[in-house]
Amino acid sequence: MTSAKPEHTLAVALRGIVKRFPGVTANDRANLEVRRGEIHALLGENGAGKTSLMNVLYGIYHPDEGEIWVKGRRVTIHSPHDAITLGIGMIHQQFRLVQTHTVLENVILGLRERFFFPEQSARPRILALAEKYGLKVDPDARIWQLSAGEQQRVEILKALYRGVEILIMDEPTSMLTPGEALELLHILRRMTAEGLTVIFITHKLEEVMEVSDRVTVMRAGKSIATLETAQTNVRELAQLMVGRDVLFRLEKKAVTPGAPVLKVENLNVVSDKGLPAVVNLSLEVRAGEILGIAGVSGNGQRELVEAIAGLRPVSGGKILFQGEDVTQTPPRMRIERGIGFVPGERWMALIPSMSVAENMILKNYARPPIGRKVFLDAEAVATHADTLIREYAISTPNRQTPIKRLSGGNIQRALLAREMTERPALLLVAQPTSGLDVGATETIWNLLLEERARGAAVLLISDDLKEAMALSDRLAVLFEGQIMGEFTAQTMDLEKIGLMMAGALRQPTAEPTAGEPA
Amino acid sequence: MPDFVAGLLENLLTILVTVVLAIPAAIRAGTPLLYGTLGEVYAERSGILNLGMEGMMIMGAVSGFAAAQTTGSAALGILTAALVGGLFALIHAFASITLRVNQVVSGLALTMLGLGISSLMGKQFVGQPLAARLQPLEIPVLSNLPIVGELFFQFDLMVYLSIVLVPVLWFFLYKTRLGITLRSVGENPAAADALGVDVTFVRYAAVVFGGMMAGIGGSYLSISYAPAWIEGMTAGAGWIVVALTIFAMWDPSRALLGAYLFGGVRVLQFRLQPLGISPNLLNMLPYLLTILVLWLSSDQAAKRRIGAPAALMTAYAREER
Ligand SMILES: Nc1ncnc2c1ncn2[C@@H]1O[C@H](COP(=O)(O)OP(=O)(O)OP(=O)(O)O)[C@@H](O)[C@H]1O
Ligand SMILES: [Mg+2]
């Protein structure tokens, strides 16, 4: 365990880490050196092995080979417990919080606090830490009552409370609103000012440029390069990651929109909590057109698409698809008529423990060539899966792999592949590129544009304003369930959109003309 | 008007008196259920469903009787029952936690195993009266009160012990460090693991504790309630415990209420029969009540997010995604 080395400036050194899973090598002699007190960005394509490497450092995965050095000492990390003892903390992309417990209970879990009423003895220290780092959160709130941003603060508090020196964050901004993300970056700065070391996994190159001191790029399980952030740029990073130039050039051909495919008239939808989520909303999407919906998440986007997909009852108004009223049509019938749906929450549309092949037939299993009478044609299922895996470049050991084992980007690709291959007349897509690397983002943007060129009507919901603006022919801004204004590709104005997202501006023409409550 | 309703009205007063007089008997009949339920609540709070309850209880009953009869000490009998119940639960723990076998399958196997072994082991004790009886505990003043003393203060130590355990286990679960740990493991083992909690150990401990409680519950039947060994004497009590755990919403304090209610139903089954109430109807009652409670509380439970532990019946492996 001991053997000192003159590497005091290094907080962490990973040398030649190999981690294999059945059919995949997640880490293939990966190296990483992180200096004390720096923010070190870890960059790489989906499935490059970033999360796996960090799980090795945190004791969640046992490496098959390789050395781990922490603060200048060679160590063996058997479990998260060992990692915590070494001053390492990790915040996973999927937060590891007990939803039904309070913030305090989550923070003290696993610690040798006072036996009786342990959470009470922890209160003053938690409040002090929260104060010091600007982590506002009610210590007695239950986790399920908190927003994603607040939950993340609880995760940070958990690490700080244990005296973390090296904090790993896996895609910390992917679930946050732009405002929350900015706040997080400030908090990280404050932590490094106190001497903490931060390892930060992200797909957003601007964040790397903005916040990190150095950056390591991974590809196919290997570390390709470590650079000083000040001496690199977005283009070089993207190029290193993907192994080719990422141009962010979209092949947006001119398409003359056709007939309206979707018409929504004075739609009213209620949220899970029973509150109005969509209010007297009207919109129209034509064939060969992408209508983008921008807005801070939680302003009715989810309820809107779910209502159109038939997964949520409508409390008022009408949904017309290709001229026919489908307001009361069951979801299965809407699928058959040609409505495709990619929800923002992946697991709403995929079954984690089922294989890639099985997930790929969830929509067309009842029809030939897949379904024949009561049986499935195993060969057709296999061919269907293999075709999609090839055409959409889904990286998976094989078609029998449970889909939950794939990396985030590949899960998303698989979902899009299943929906697009049905060639729907209307495609509802929410957050299509959340968690995806720049290469995959580019691919998926082009796939969506191909759908548009084919003549599909696309309704795109995105929290990422850059994405919404890049893809949309028309962009509507949603605030508290109402459309505040609409822009065409030519009239998009970042400042106005921002004001509308905050509810501070409303286009006079966007006032609902009909259905105003009497 | 249906016959049984007419009969019911006619005998309303008699029924009322019968019900009140049945309270002590209900408490006695509810005691093994209470032990079992407290144990199952703990096991399920750690995320492990143990359908071997019936098997563990009957093993407790037979081994408790055997030990008490051969040593002449009721206390040793109860202790043995706890050990045997714990050992039996260990089988389930190993299968469902270490081998990650389906928990339903492993629990059912345990029940069948327990019923089989107990009937084999108990052959020699059938028909023997227990020599080492548990005496009612004399409580100064209270036990001598007229009526009230008769009704509520003539129980033996095992009854009082189970009642004392209710607040103790409630307090442990909600107000102590280990209680928070236990509940966290049942809700989100990955979260607990990431903070260095030994998920496997916590689950083993909870399941074994559940088995020990089941064993004690079973031994109450053969050492105090009967007191004798009768083959198959748990008569489905283990299954009622499984339903009771749900009825109690995985909360020790509600387990007390449920156990006496269900115990009461068991007793009234016999006492109300002469008054024209079908025992089959009463037999269904525990299960109907469970469904009713689930239905009534589901809305409130969903709002406050109480209910089944989120990770109930899911095995955990650190490297698994
Ligand atoms: N527990 C596991 N079981 C099986 N395969 C796994 C497991 N964890 C990771 N893998 C595989 O290892 C590879 C690397 O995955 P990893 O999650 O480390 O990628 P990543 O760089 O974090 O990607 P993303 O940006 O999509 O999160 C992937 O092919 C993934 O399928
Ligand atoms: Mg990852």
Nearest to A110 among B175, B190, B197 (CB): B197
The ligand whose atoms approach the alpha carbon of A405 most closely is 1
- Return mean pLDDT, chain B: 90
Say what the ipTM of the complex is.
Answer: 0.89
B294 beta partners: none
Record: fold of B28-313: ABC transporter involved in vitamin B12 uptake, BtuC (1.10.3470)
Residue range A455-470: average pLDDT? 92
Question: Is there a contact between B196 and A84 if contact means CB atoms under 8 Å apart?
Answer: yes
pLDDT in tens, B103-157: 999 999 999 999 999 999 999 999 899 888 888 887 777 777 777 777 777 889 9
Nearest CA in chain A to B184: A98
Contact A80/B at CB under 8 A = yes
**d(Cα A300, Cα A309) in Å, to the nearest integer?**
14
Two structure tokens written together for B278: 């079908």
Q: What architecture is the A10-242 domain classified under in CATH?
A: 3-Layer(aba) Sandwich (3.40)
> Using CB atoms within 10 A of its CB, is residue A273 exposed (0-12), middle (13-18) or buried (19+)?
exposed
Rg (CA), chain A: 24
Q: Given the structure tokens 């570390």, which residue do they identify?
A: A223
Grade residue A131 by pLDDT with cuts at 50, 70 and 90: very high
Alpha-carbon distance B288 to nearest alpha carbon in chain A (angstroms): 28
Spatial CA neighbour of A125 closest among A144, A110, A103: A103
In percent, the amount of chain B with pLDDT more than 90 equals: 65
Around ion ligand 2, which residues have CB less than 5 A away?
A: A 51
Q: What angle do CA B279, B282, B287 make, to 5 degrees?
A: 135
| Cβ neighbours of A489 (radius 10 Å) | 15
Among B residues 161-220, those touching chain A with beta carbons less than 8 Å apart: 175-178, 180-181, 183-184, 187-188, 190-198
CATH topology of domain A260-350+415-510: Rossmann fold (3.40.50)
Q: Which atom of ligand 1 is nearest to the CA of A50?
A: 21
8 Å CB contact of B194 and A144: no
H helices then E strands: how many in chain B? 14, 0
Instruction: Give the C-alpha separation, A366 to A375, whole Å.
Output: 9
Buried b (16+ CB within 10 A) or exposed e, B103-132: beebbebbbebbbebbeebbeebeeeebeb
A439 near A246, Cβ under 8 Å?
yes
Q: Kindly give the pairing relationship between strand A276-286 and strand A260-270.
A: antiparallel
Whether pLDDT at B85 is above 50: yes
Q: Which of B177, B192, B318 sits opposite A115 (nearest CB)?
A: B177
Q: How far apart are CA A54 and CA A168, in angstroms?
A: 7
> Average of pLDDT values for B50-54?
97
Phi, psi of A113 (to 5 degrees): -80, 180
Contact A455, A285 (CB under 8 A): no
- Structure-token pair, residue A225: 């390069």
Residues in A touching B176 (Cβ below 8 Å): 115-118
pLDDT at A4 over 60: no
CA angle A196, A200, A204 (to 5 degrees): 145
Joined together, the tokens standing for residue A115 give: 């036996």
> What is the Cβ-side half-sphere exposure of residue B317, based on CA atoms within 13 angstroms?
9
Residue whose structure tokens are 């001229």: A323
Topology agreement, domain A10-242 and domain A260-350+415-510: yes
**DSSP states along B249-268:** TT-HHHHHHHHHHHHHHHHH
Which among B180, B319, B321 has CB closest to A109?
B180
The pLDDT value recorded for residue A248 is: 67
Integer Cα distance of B265 and B288 in angstroms: 12
Closest residue on chain A to B317 (Cα): A60
The three-state (H, E, C) secondary structure of A65-134, written as one string: EEEEEECCEEECCCCHHHHHHCCEEEECCCCCCCCCCEHHHHHHCCCCCCCECHHHHHHHHHHHHHHHHC
Q: What is the residue type of A16?
A: G
Which of A19, A21, A62 to mutate to test ligand 1, by most ligand atoms within 8 A of the CB atom?
A: A21
pLDDT, residue A518, reads 35
- Closest Cα of chain A to B300: distance in Å? 13
Do residues B214 and B234 make contact, with C-beta atoms less than 8 angstroms apart? no
Could you identify the atom of ligand 1 that is nearest to the CA of residue A407?
26
Chain A residues in contact with B183 by the CB 8 A cut-off are 98, 101
Tokens of B193: 């693991």
How many angstroms does the Cα of residue A514 sit away from the middle of ligand 1?
51
Given a cut of 80, whether residue A517 has pLDDT beyond it is no
Give me ligand 2 centre to Cα A27, in Å.
12
Select from B195, B310, B319 the Cβ nearest to the Cβ of A109: B195
Task: Give Cβ neighbours of residue B76 (< 8 Å, ≥ 6 apart).
Answer: B67, B68
| Minimal Cβ distance to B321: which of A96, A110, A405 | A405
Check: CB of residue A416 under 8 Å from CB of residue A444.
yes
- Give pLDDT tens digits for A275-297: 899 999 999 999 999 999 998 88
Residues in chain B: 321
Determine the distance separating the centroid of ligand 2 and the alpha carbon of B247, expressed in angstroms: 41
Query: Cβ(A417)–Cβ(A399) under 8 Å?
Result: no
Phi and psi, residue B291, nearest 5°: -60, -40
Ligand 2 mean position, distance from CA A249 (Å): 26
Residues 6+ apart with CB under 8 A from B291: none
CA distance B168 to chain A (A): 12
Residue A406 Cα to ligand 1 middle (Å): 6
- For residue A71 the two structure tokens come to 């603060």
Is the Cβ pair B187, A110 closer than 8 Å?
A: no
Domain boundaries, chain B: 28-313
Ligand nearest to the CA of A407: 1
Beta strand A260-270 pairing with A314-321? antiparallel
Contact yes or no for A97 and B188 at CB 8 A? yes
Show residues of chain B in contact with A105, CB under 8 Å: 180, 184
User: A138 falls in which pLDDT band (50, 70, 90)?
Assistant: very high
CA of A407 from ligand 1 middle (Å) equals 5
Determine whether the interchain pair B184/A81 forms a contact, defined as Cβ–Cβ distance below 8 Å: no
Q: What is the pLDDT of residue A465?
A: 87
Alpha helices in B123-198 (DSSP H): 148-152, 157-175, 177-187, 189-194
Q: What pLDDT, on a 0 to 100 scale, did the predictor assign at position B300?
A: 64
- Closest-CA residue, ligand 1 atom 28, reads A47
**Cβ contact B128:B229 at 8 Å:** yes
Q: Is the pLDDT of residue A6 over 60?
A: no
| CB proximity list for B157: less than 8 A, separation 6 or greater | B134, B137
Residue in A with minimal Cα distance to B303: A273
Which has the higher per-residue pLDDT, B94 or B139? B94
Q: Give the least confident one: B123-127, B226-230, B285-289.
A: B285-289
> A179's torsion region: left (phi>0), alpha (psi -120 to 50) or beta?
alpha
Largest distance between two CA atoms of chain B:
67
Give the pLDDT of residue A3: 44
- How would residue A174 be classed by pLDDT, with cut points 50, 70 and 90? confident
Residues of A in contact with B184 (CB under 8 A): 98, 101, 105-106, 109
Both tokens of residue A12? 């962490």
The tokens for A351 are: 């079954």
Q: How far is CA A40 from the centre of its chain?
A: 21
pLDDT in tens, B128-139: 998 888 888 877
Residue of A nearest to B202 (CA): A110
User: Minimum-distance ligand to the CA of B320?
Assistant: 1
Looking at residue A398, what is its pLDDT? 92
Tell me if A370 sits within 8 A of A418, measured CB to CB: no
User: Of A475, A362, A356, A459, nearest to A412 (Cα)?
Assistant: A356
Query: Which ligand has the nearest atom to the CA of A436?
Result: 1
Q: For chain B, say whether A118 makes contact (Cβ under 8 Å).
A: yes
Residue B267 contacts residue B29 (beta carbons within 8 Å): yes
Q: Is the peptide bond before A369 cis (omega within 30 degrees of 0)?
A: yes
CA of A300 to the centre of ligand 2 (A): 28
Q: What's the gap in Å between the CA of A74 and the closest CA on chain B? A: 21
Average pLDDT (B65-88) is 96
Q: Ligand 1: residues within 6 Å at CB?
A: A 21, 24, 26, 44, 46-52, 405-409, 437; B 319-321
Rounded to the nearest angstrom, the gap between the alpha carbon of residue A191 and the centroid of all alpha carbons in its chain is: 25
Q: Where are the domains of chain A?
A: 10-242, 260-350+415-510
CA of B222 relative to ligand 2 center, distance in Å? 57
| A300 φψ region: left (φ > 0), alpha (ψ -120 to 50), beta (else) | left
User: In the predicted model, what is the mean pLDDT of residues B195-200?
Assistant: 96
- HEC string of A455-480 equals CCEEEEECCCHHHHHHHCCEEEEEEC
Atom of ligand 1 nearest to the CA of B320: 1
Portion of chain B with pLDDT greater than 70, in percent: 95
Least CB–CB distance from A79: residue in B175, B196, B321: B196
Of the partner residues B187, B318, B321, the one whose CB lies closest to the CB of residue A404: B321
Return the structure tokens found at A506: 């409303």
Q: What pLDDT was estimated at residue B57? A: 98
Is the Cβ pair B319, A62 closer than 8 Å? yes
Ligand 2 mean position to A351 CA, how many Å?
A: 19
For B142-147, which contacts have Cβ atoms below 8 Å and span 24 or more sequence positions?
A: none
CB contact under 8 A, A115 and B306: no
Structure tokens of A476?
């509507």
C-alpha B225/C-alpha B217 separation (Å) is 10
A109 neighbourhood in chain B, CB within 8 Å: 180-181, 184, 191-192, 195, 197
User: Residue B319 in 3-state DSSP?
Assistant: coil
> Which residues partner with A169 through β-bridges?
A91, A200
Distance CA B249, CA B130 (A): 37
Fill in the amino acid letter for B66: A
Interface test mutation site (partner B, options A21, A62, A109, max chain B beta carbons within 10 A): A109
Residue A514 confidence (pLDDT): 41
Contacts of A120 in chain B (CB under 8 A): none
A405 vs A353: CA distance, rounded Å: 9
**A84/B195 CB distance under 8 A:** yes
Answer whether residue A510 shows pLDDT above 50. Answer: no
Taking all residues of chain A, what is their mean pLDDT, rounded to a whole number? 90
Structure tokens at A30: 């990966």
> How do residues B235-267 score in pLDDT, each as one tens digit?
889 999 999 999 899 999 999 999 999 898 888
